[in-house]
Amino acid sequence: MSSRRTWRNVLAIVSFVSIVAACAAGPDGGRRIVGEELTIPGGDPGIQLYVRNKRPADLGASAGERIVLFVHGATYPAHTAFDLPLGGMSWMDYMAARGYDVYSVDLRGYGRSTRPKEMDEAADKNPPLTTGDVAVRDIAATVDYIRVRRGVAKINLVGWSWGTTLMATYTAANPDKVNRLVLYAPQWVRTTPSLVQAGPALGAYRVVKKEDTLKRWLTNVPEAKQQALIPPGWWQQWADATFATDPKGGGATLRAPNGIIKDSRESWMAGKPYYDPAKIVVPVLITLGEWDNDTPPYMAQTLFPLLVNAPSKRLVMIGEATHTMLMERNRLRLFEAVQAFLDERS
C-alpha cells in the first residue's frame, strides 16, 4: 500500500477533540481565526500526538506554501508556548491572522500527547525516554498527516531549542517535504555548561519544579533589565498552563523525558554534531535572543556558515531577549523576522 493511501486511511480515524475557538476577528483586527484540537497517530503503534491548529476561517482547501508546523524544546510542550494567548494573542494567532495554516505538536512524553508507561514508574527504573530518533518519528508522522490533510507536498517547519535539532535532522533527510526551515535558538556543539539539570545518572525522565523556572528564564539578563523583560502576568500564565499538563504534578512539578539529555551528552557536549548542516538544501532562518543562555549566540554563529547548501540563509539576533523571547516584551520582533522569512516565495 502506498504511503499516501495509508495516510488517507489514518485521516479517517483521527480523533477530532474539539473546536477551540472561532474568534470574531484576528488578533490585529484582521481575518477571523478558527482553532482546532486534534489527536493523531504518532510515529509508533499506541502513540497519540496532541496537535493544535489555527487558521483563517476563509482558508479554503489549501494554504499552499502558507502551512507551518511548530515543535518545542527539551522540557515543555508546544501548545502552551506557541498558542498561549498572551495579551490576547499567541504566535499561532499572529500567523493565522496573516493567512497561514498553523500547527503545533506535543511530542510523546510531553503535554497532552501519550506519556510512555515508563513515566508512571520510578525514573531510575528505565533508560531515557523520547530520544531524538524517536522524536523525529513523531515529527514525520505529523508532517505526513498535515501534507495529506491539506493535499500539499511540502510545509514549513519551525523548531525551538531542541526542536531545532529535530527539525533540522528531519529536513536533512526529507528535503522534498519541507519548504522553509526556521531554527529558533538552535543547539550546536556546546563549550559552556548546560542550564538543564538532570544529574549524572540519567533515568527515564526528570522532574522540573515550577518555582525554579523564572530564575532560569532570567539567567544572563542584566539585573536592571529583568523587571521589564516579561510583561506583568505573562510568566504566571505560561507557568500555570504548562505545569497543569502533567496530571501527576499537582501544578507544581512537571516530568520531562531525558532522551534529549542523553543525546546532548553523546553529541553536542562531546563535540559531535547531531546532524550535518550541509545536508540541508532548503532556505533557512536562524534567530535567537541577545541574552540567550540556554543556547548562547556562539552556537548559532558557529552553525550559520556550515549551512553551505541552503539556497538562502539569514541570521537574526533580537536585542534584549532571551531563549524564551516568544513570551517577552520584544516578542513581536521575533514574530516579524520569522514572518518576513516565511512570506518570501521560493
Residues 98-122 have a mean pLDDT of: 97
pLDDT of res. 192: 83
Residues 287-297: tens digit of each pLDDT:
999 999 999 99
Maximum CA pair distance of the chain?
A: 61
**pLDDT score of 31 more than 90:** no
Percent of the chain residues past pLDDT 70, beyond the cut: 88
- Sequence-separated contacts (24+) of 6-14 with Cβ below 8 Å: 7/144, 7/145, 7/147, 7/148, 8/148, 10/40, 10/41, 10/145, 10/148, 11/145, 11/148, 11/149, 13/41, 14/38, 14/39, 14/40, 14/41, 14/145
Q: How far is residue 26 CA from its own chain's centroid?
A: 23
Q: What is the pLDDT of residue 345?
A: 75
Q: What integer is the mean pLDDT of 13-21?
A: 41
Continuous H helices in 221-272? 223-229, 234-243, 259-266
Is the pLDDT score of 24 beyond 50?
no
pLDDT, residue 61, reads 59
Residue 313 has pLDDT above 90, yes or no: yes
The CATH number of the domain where 128 resides is what?
A: 3.40.50.1820
Taking alpha carbons only, the member of 342, 344, 286, 345 closest to residue 102 is 342
Helix (H, G, I), strand (E, B) or coil at 315: strand
Query: Which residue range(s) make up the domain with 56?
Result: 3-343
How much is the average pLDDT of 6-30?
Answer: 45
In the chain, how many domains are there?
Answer: 1
Cell 505560561, located at residue: 238
List phi, psi (to 5°) of 331. Answer: -60, -30
Q: Are strands 33-41 and 48-56 parallel, antiparallel or unpaired?
A: antiparallel
All cell numbers assigned to 338: 520569522
Whether the predicted pLDDT of 9 surpasses 50:
no
Reported as a pLDDT band with limits 50, 70 and 90, residue 23 is very low
**Per residue in 186-198, pLDDT tens?**
999 999 877 666 5
> Is the pLDDT confidence value at 227 over 50?
yes
